[in-house]
Chain A
């Protein structure tokens, strides 16, 4: 093993370099940080949300709190029956986005649906609703019912959806919280018992398995044979010249069901050395620490 050399290489400079990491990170933050990107928010519209108009305006305009990107911006004006009434190209002038509307629109409820891409690259969507009264006869136009300029239609809409049909989500949340609390409680009790020395932790996990050893000897040998080849494969593939102590424990996890591995251990304990492969893998397993499992089996 070349670790002695390795330690000499790495140790003394460790501290210094540990410091260098956050410093460099901060430095690069300054480089990466880019000018203002933020989520655009609709702050005003013409017509306003909820407005009642005598006649359809020639164009509709949406005003955001920041300049809007021209690319990816889409606006649709839909009428009572879902037909589209927008016309021409979208024009973007700083914070204002507007689009023309066809003439000769029927009376009814209209909606302006929009999707723009805000400066941070996120789509911002929403809708502004207004009503056109029949034939443009109604003179007493705008009666906007309690509308603040900023109609955060996107999220408020989602919020109400969440409130409305979301009872199962809350149920799920409560169940999750309860499960977590239960886990915490069980763990606290387990800790207490550990401290009192009522149960040595590993044995508690090991005992039920040791009680049902199940598998006979032949499967044990079979399995360890498979293990062995697995070890070779691993060693060749990944770890280069690592010591075998590294690989052997990993081999047991190569899809081997727990009971088989256990059986290998038991048979080994019962009848001494089966063959070299079994001996090797079990020894390696135990080598990493004292083994309550095989201890329980013996």
Chain B
């Protein structure tokens, strides 16, 4: 296993140190933003003590959201890296192949992280249900849909890693679509593990939730892949960024609408809370508002990349794309962190 392949495709271009640092900035921003948001949001929505009953320990209360966050980020990275060949295009393998090779390598790694995080998450979820006792993972997985969802997701992640290994070995002969599909299947059980909304518009909100997850993963994952692997290849970026930009526009619409729909349905259908007020009076409502604000900021930053930087990028002129992308990813990380907490927080 090498941690080496990450930073430098063209170390010579801007001084190795700078290149090294800059490749890590987007990743660091995303992770730091996500961790910050998840810890704060978890702390804010921590359930109060229940008199007479043992409560889950700190490790479970904070560990579960953090592991879930790791799962989400790893899955996102896997999806994004698997998508990258599609974004790069197949017109010029000689130039795209070095980048695509690194993307394949990292996709396998992140699939494995995803799998591990899903399994740990199942154990911690089981522990959350039976505090004070040893976690009964078997009963949890057997009796509760969320547990099965986690196991299915872990299996898909493993399958994704296997397909990814084949891709590492045989290159782009293993079609990118297959890799995206296998990894995408691993995403589908995840909404089931959140409270997939209420009974009235259940099917609709379920589909909307799936679209939300898939859209967010493709969007954030794609941007991660671009920001980490491409900023020093102006020639490749010039062709890739417009494609990604189109994808990101669709993703913004899909993710924004489905997110609003799900959040509002959840708020509207919870008994005992009046709707517009519950946006600010309940923890869930506040998190929904926070996420909407983050989405708006992300849209602004995305618009900035699209309209201010994209023309220069397509001319292959020097731009601060990496830095802007890192900033956008940081805000995306914040939104991810809030999202993880949202899946766990009860409305009322």
Taking Cβ atoms with an 8 Å cutoff, the residues of A that contact B are 1-4, 6-7, 9-11, 14, 17-18, 20-22, 24-26, 28-30, 32-39, 41-43, 65-66, 69, 71-72, 74, 76-78, 82, 84, 86, 111, 113-115, 117-118, 120-127, 148-155, 157-159, 161-162, 166, 169, 172-173, 176, 180, 183-184, 187, 190-191, 194-195, 200-203, 205-206, 209-210, 230, 234, 237-240, 242-243, 245-246, 249-256, 258-259, 261-262, 265, 282, 285-294, 296
Contacts and interface: CB of A to CB of B under 8 A. Distances in A.
A33 B147 contact: no
A196 B188 CA distance: 47
Contacts of B277: none
Contact of A238 (B105, B143, B214, B309): B105
B78 interface: no
Interface in B306-325: 308-309, 312, 318-320, 323-324
Contact of A122 (B46, B188, B346): B346
A3 B40 CA distance: 48
For the complex, would chain B's binding face be called helix, strand, loop or mixed by DSSP majority?
helix
Given A7-B93, A25-B181, A258-B16, 14 more contacts: A6-B93, A26-B210, A32-B188, A120-B194, A125-B47, A126-B50, A149-B272, A191-B309, A200-B318, A245-B98, A250-B9, A254-B2, A254-B4, A291-B10
A155 B344 CA distance: 12
Interface string B182-194: 0011001100111
Interface of B: 2, 4-18, 20, 22, 36, 40, 43-48, 50-53, 55, 86, 90-91, 93-94, 97-98, 101-102, 105, 125, 128-130, 139, 143-147, 168-169, 171-173, 175-177, 180-181, 184-185, 188-189, 192-199, 202-203, 206-207, 210, 214, 232-234, 270-273, 281-284, 301, 308-309, 312, 318-320, 323-324, 327, 330-331, 334, 344-348
B53 A113 contact: yes
Contacts of B143: 69, 71
Contacts of A11: 90-91
Given A65-B271, A150-B271, A158-B283, A201 B318 contact: yes
A192 to B, nearest CB: 10
Contacts of B284: 155
Given A21-B184, A84-B52, A285 B86 contact: no
Contact of A155 (B8, B206, B331, B347): B347
Given A161-B46, A205-B14, A234 B4 contact: yes
Given A29-B207, A262-B15, A155 B283 contact: yes
A72 B130 contact: yes
A7 B206 CA distance: 38
Nearest to B193: A121
B129 A117 contact: yes
Contact of A121 (B86, B147, B318): B147
Nearest to B192: A34
B90 A14 contact: yes
Contact of A158 (B44, B196, B320): B44
B17 A14 contact: no
Given A32-B189, A111-B52, A158-B48, A205 B90 contact: no
B144 to A, nearest CB: 4
Contacts of B180: 21
Contacts of A234: 2, 4-5
Nearest to A8: B90
A36 B8 contact: no
A37 B196 contact: yes
Given A158-B48, A250-B4, A202 B14 contact: yes
Nearest to B169: A240
A26 B215 CA distance: 12
B146 A121 contact: yes
Contact of B327 (A187, A194, A253): A187
A191 B178 CA distance: 39
Nearest to A121: B146
A253 B48 contact: no
Given A33-B203, A246-B101, A253 B346 contact: no
A1 B185 contact: no
Contacts of A253: 4-8, 11, 20
B346 A292 contact: no
A184 B300 CA distance: 11
Contact of B273 (A25, A37, A152, A166): A152
B318 A202 contact: yes
A155 B45 contact: yes
A2 B193 CA distance: 43
A161 B145 CA distance: 31
A285 B283 CA distance: 51
Contacts of A86: 52
Contact of A255 (B4, B323, B345): B4
Nearest to A152: B348
Contacts of B348: 41-42, 150, 152, 154-155
Contacts of A293: 12-16
Contacts of B281: 159
A187 B324 contact: yes
Given A3-B93, A3-B94, A176-B36, A250 B48 contact: no
Contact of A123 (B129, B139, B147): B129
Given A28-B188, A191-B308, A258-B16, A36 B202 contact: yes
Contacts of A17: 175, 177
Contacts of B195: 37-39, 118, 120, 122
B290 to A, nearest CB: 9
Contact of B4 (A84, A123, A251): A251
A239 B197 contact: no
Contacts of B323: 183, 187, 190
Nearest to A286: B12
Contacts of A125: 47-48, 50, 53, 55
